[in-house]
Structures are given as C-alpha cells and as structure tokens.
Amino acid sequence: MCSSCRKKTRSASAHETRVQATYGLGPGEYAEMFRLQGGKCAICRQTRQQRLSVDHCHKSGVVRGLLCRRCNSQLIARGARDSPVILRNAADYLEDPPAIRFIGKRYHREDGKK
C-alpha cells in the first residue's frame, strides 16, 4: 500500500473510532447513515468535499443525522435566512431526524466514554 493510501486508511479508521466513542454509533453506522442520506447534508442536500458532521440535540444528546459544517454551525445565522427551502428542510430535519429512522436512538457522550 502506498503512503497516500495508508494515510487515508488511518484517517478513516481514526474518524470511525472517534464517532463511535463520542456518539455511541456502532461500527459502520456512520457509513450507513451517509449512504442512506445519499452522501448529502440532511438539510441543504448538498454534497461536500469534507466529511459530514454528526449532529446531535444538545439537550437530549440524541444523534439526529449528518450535516455539512455550514448547516451544523451557522444555519440560521447566515445562509438559511434568505432561503425558504433550506428553512423548511431544517424544520423537517428537526421534527423527523434521519438518524433515528436509520439506526435508532444513539446519544452523544460528553466525555467520549461508553
């Protein structure tokens, strides 16, 4: 295996380990959510070059789905205010989170421990 491929493999493995420890996802569940969302952000429905973020409710800890960084961090503050479609998608997402449909309830862990 070349060094570039080895680096990508290590990075993917580290990401899966972190997602499992932080959000309680089982092996392959991030990849399955990504596949079921069509590789797109659950709100803006855009594909991105970077990994999608695991979004969770900060009150209950329930994992809701995968979002691009923009939607995860700045949805109302920036891009959505002029786009009724994005706002409707965001409301639908919050009312019926795709992660719960796909994998059931998983919870964010504050300390990353099981």
Query: The domain spanning residue 79 has which CATH number?
Result: 3.40.1800
* Domain encompassing residue 42: 3-103
With cut-offs at 50, 70 and 90, classify the pLDDT of residue 87.
Answer: confident
Coil vs helix vs strand at 43? coil
Residue 44 domain-assigned (yes or no): yes
Q: Which of 2-16, 50-64, 74-88 has the highest mean pLDDT?
A: 50-64
Biggest CA-to-CA distance, the chain: 48
pLDDT at 95 over 70: yes
Reading the block at residue 16, the tokens are 């899966």
- Report the predicted TM-score, pTM, of the whole model to 2 decimal places: 0.69
How far apart (Å, rounded) are the C-alpha atoms in residues 47 and 33?
Answer: 14
Residue 54, in any domain of the structure: yes
Residue 111 lies in a domain: no
Reading the block at residue 33, the tokens are 């959510």
Q: Is residue 16 part of a domain?
A: yes
Burial of 61 (0-12, 13-18, 19+ CB in 10 A): middle
Instruction: Domain count for the chain, please give it.
Output: 1
pLDDT at residue 73 tops 90: no
pLDDT at 52 over 90: yes
Is residue 98 situated within a structural domain? Answer: yes
In a domain, residue 79? The reply is yes
60 φψ region: left (φ > 0), alpha (ψ -120 to 50), beta (else)? alpha
Please say if the pLDDT value at position 40 is more than 60.
Answer: yes
Position 88 in a domain? yes
| pLDDT over threshold 90, residue 33 | yes
Task: For residue 60, tell me if it sits in a domain.
Answer: yes
Model confidence at 5: pLDDT above 80: no
Surface-to-core class of residue 43, CB atoms within 10 Å of its CB (0-12 exposed, 13-18 middle, 19+ buried): buried
